[in-house]
C-alpha cells in the first residue's frame, strides 16, 4: 500500500512539473510576442493566446495580466477614441479576472492603474479629473502592497509627470520618483520566468525628459 502511494505521488509530481514546464514555455513565447508586436493585429493574436492559456490554467493570474497588457498596448496604438475605450474595457476585464485569483497581487493592481492612466489620454480635458486621481490612487495601492514594484513606481511617475506638464507645474517630484523606479528596475529579481519584467525603457525615456 505504501509503495502504491509513493508511486502515485511520484507520478503526480512528474505530471505537475511537466504541466508547469509547458505553461512556462507557452507563456514565454506569447510574452515575447506581445513585447515585440509591430501592429494591433499582432497584439490581438497574443491577447487571444493569453486568453486561451488562462482558460486552460484556471489558477494562474499571469495570463490575465499579460492579456490586459496587450489590450492596453492596442489602445495606445489607435487614435480612435471608441476603439481605445473598447480595448481598455477588455484590459480591465482581464485585470478583474486576474484579481479574482490573486486579489493582493501588486502587479495586477498596477496594471489596473495603467488602464485608468490611458483612459485619461482618450480625452484629457474631460477625463483628467476623474481618471488621474483614480490612477494615482491605484498605483499607491500597488506600492503599499509591494514598495519594490518598479512598474507601479514608474507608472506613478509617468502619471505625475504628465499631470504636471498639463497644468504647467514643476515635474521635480515626478522625476525623483522616476529615479527611484530606475533603481528598483536595476535591482529587480523576477520571481519566476513569467513574472513581469517590462518598464525599464519607459522610465529611462521619462528620465530623458527630466533633463
Q: How far apart are CA 158 and CA 178, in angstroms?
A: 8
117 phi and psi angles, rounded to 5 deg: -65, -40
167 phi and psi angles, rounded to 5 deg: -95, 0
Q: How far apart are CA 93 and CA 180, in angstroms?
A: 30
Cell triple for residue 39? 501592429
Residues of the chain with CATH 1.25.40: 106-211
Closest CA to 63 of 110, 18, 28: 28
Q: Which residues contact 34 (CB under 8 A, 6 or more apart)?
A: 43, 46, 47, 50, 66, 69, 70, 73
Contact 151, 127 (CB under 8 A): no
Q: What is the pLDDT of residues 49-85, one digit of tens each?
A: 999 999 999 999 999 999 999 999 999 999 999 999 9
pLDDT in tens, the chain (211 residues): 444 444 333 333 333 334 588 999 999 999 999 999 999 999 999 999 999 999 999 999 999 999 999 999 999 999 999 999 999 999 999 999 999 999 999 999 999 999 999 999 999 999 988 999 999 999 999 999 999 999 999 999 999 999 999 889 999 999 999 999 999 999 998 888 999 999 999 999 999 999 7
Residue 142's alpha-carbon distances to 23, 155, 182, in angstroms, are 26, 11, 17
Cell triple for residue 35? 513585447
Closest CA to 134 of 164, 104, 114: 114
Residue with cell 521635480: 172
Cell triple for residue 2? 505504501
Q: What is the pTM of this model?
A: 0.89
Domain covering 106-211, topology: 1.25.40
Q: How far apart are CA 129 and CA 94, in angstroms?
A: 25
Amino acid at each position: 500500500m505504501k509503495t502504491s502511494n509513493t508511486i502515485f505521488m511520484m507520478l503526480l509530481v512528474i505530471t505537475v512539473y511537466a504541466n508547469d514546464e509547458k505553461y512556462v514555455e507557452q507563456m514565454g513565447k506569447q510574452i515575447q510576442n506581445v513585447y515585440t508586436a509591430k501592429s494591433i493585429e499582432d497584439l490581438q493574436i497574443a491577447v487571444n493566446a493569453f486568453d486561451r492559456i488562462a482558460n486552460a490554467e484556471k489558477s494562474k493570474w499571469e495570463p490575465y495580466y499579460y492579456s490586459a497588457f496587450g489590450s492596453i498596448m492596442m489602445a495606445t496604438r489607435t487614435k480612435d477614441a471608441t476603439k481605445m475605450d473598447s480595448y481598455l474595457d477588455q484590459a480591465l476585464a482581464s485585470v478583474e479576472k486576474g484579481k479574482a485569483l490573486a486579489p493582493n497581487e501588486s502587479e495586477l493592481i498596477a496594471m489596473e492603474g495603467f488602464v485608468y492612466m490611458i483612459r485619461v489620454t482618450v480625452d484629457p480635458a474631460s477625463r483628467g479629473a476623474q481618471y488621474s486621481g483614480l490612477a494615482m490612487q491605484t498605483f499607491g495601492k500597488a506600492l503599499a502592497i509591494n514598495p519594490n514594484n518598479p512598474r507601479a513606481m514608474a507608472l506613478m511617475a509617468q502619471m505625475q509627470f504628465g499631470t504636471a506638464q498639463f497644468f504647467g507645474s514643476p515635474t521635480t517630484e515626478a522625476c525623483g520618483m522616476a529615479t527611484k523606479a530606475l533603481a528598483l528596475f536595476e535591482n529587480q529579481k523576477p520571481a519566476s520566468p513569467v513574472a513581469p519584467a517590462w518598464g525599464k525603457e519607459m522610465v529611462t525615456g521619462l528620465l530623458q525628459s527630466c533633463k
